[in-house]
């Protein structure tokens, strides 16, 4: 599935890491991940160690298990896949949940954060983690992937279309307008762009055909510690001072009802491509 970021040739695993036929080598880090960047390349800033730790804790508690299940349902709707690519996949928790439902599949997490990749490398026995730039050419071979997953992460329509096999699908999870609505005002969180769905269609439409979108709604009850990790794991963490966030969370009821509202959309590569 993976391609050399220097010459584009197929990569194969050896005892040290990954190698291509031209001799370009990429060693496996002590934590298990591999960095696949072009010469002199560096990824966009990825999530910090603190953000990744918050995400790992929140997801490990099972709060977004419903989202993972909805993602897996959409992945399987097009038939059982053999290869999965989670672009911007963070800790690999969502991919791991999908792999548990697809026993014959293997998966790769691409993420710009080395902190996320360290965790993703241990997320599932049939998954590996790669540090790469989601906005540059992905270190993935043409038409090598059955499903691309994007959960709360930016979409790269051109690269998705390039790596998908004919008939392959992209499954995207995006927040709906009322996602976490009970926390937005009290905590000063970022709101969902009302034009998000239109922007999604505009970015993917030139490359893939829409299959359909399924809404997923549920209600969580979170204590203050869970609320703090929820805020800390996402983009809100970059916009709130820790002291201000702590004061606002302290003013909440001890148990907070929170709406989880996402849309799970599927887009397909033309089978004739």
92 in a known ligand binding site: yes
20 in a known ligand binding site: yes
157 in a known ligand binding site: no
Whole-Å CA distances, 120 to 70, 108, 173, 188:
20, 9, 19, 30
179 in a known ligand binding site: yes
Contacts of range 67-70, beta carbons closer than 8 Å, 24 or more positions apart: 67/94, 67/151, 67/173, 67/216, 67/260, 67/262, 68/93, 68/94, 68/97, 68/98, 69/97, 70/173, 70/214, 70/216, 70/262, 70/264
Taking the mean position of all CA atoms in its chain, how far away is CA 61? 18
Asked if 17 and 99 count as a contact pair (C-beta separation under 8 A), the reply is no
181 in a known ligand binding site: no
Give the whole-angstrom CA distance, residue 133 versus residue 139.
9
63 in a known ligand binding site: no
257 in a known ligand binding site: no
Q: First and final CA of the chain: distance in angstroms? A: 18
7 in a known ligand binding site: yes
Please report, in range form, the residues annotated as the binding site. Answer: 4, 7, 20, 24, 64, 91-92, 179
What residue numbers does the annotated binding site for S-adenosyl-L-methionine cover? 64, 91-92, 179
Return binding residues for Zn(2+). Answer: 4, 7, 20, 24
């Amino acid at each position: 599935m993976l391609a050399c970021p220097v010459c584009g040739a197929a990569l194969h695993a050896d005892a040290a890491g990954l190698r291509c036929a031209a001799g370009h080598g990429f060693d496996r880090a002590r934590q298990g991940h591999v960095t696949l960047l072009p010469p002199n390349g560096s990824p966009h800033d990825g999530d910090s160690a603190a953000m990744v730790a918050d995400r790992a804790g929140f997801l490990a508690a099972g709060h977004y298990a419903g989202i993972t299940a909805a993602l897996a349902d959409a992945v399987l709707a097009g038939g059982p896949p053999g290869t999965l690519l989670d672009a911007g996949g963070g800790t690999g928790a969502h991919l791991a949940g999908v792999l548990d439902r697809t026993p014959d599949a293997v998966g790769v997490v691409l993420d710009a954060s080395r902190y996320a990749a360290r965790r993703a490398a241990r997320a599932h026995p049939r998954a590996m983690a790669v540090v790469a730039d989601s906005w540059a050419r992905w270190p993935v071979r043409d038409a090598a992937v059955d499903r691309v997953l994007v959960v709360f992460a930016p979409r790269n329509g051109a690269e998705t279309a390039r790596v998908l096999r004919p008939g392959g699908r992209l499954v995207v999870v995006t927040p709906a307008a009322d996602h976490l609505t009970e926390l937005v005002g009290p905590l000063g969180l970022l709101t969902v762009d009302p034009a998000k769905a239109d922007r999604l269609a505009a970015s993917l439409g030139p490359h893939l055909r829409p299959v359909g979108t399924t809404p997923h709604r549920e209600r969580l009850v979170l204590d203050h510690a869970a609320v703090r990790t929820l805020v800390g794991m996402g983009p809100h963490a970059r916009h709130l001072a820790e002291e201000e966030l702590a004061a606002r969370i302290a003013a909440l009821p001890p148990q907070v009802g929170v709406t989880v509202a996402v849309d799970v959309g599927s887009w397909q590569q033309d089978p004739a491509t």
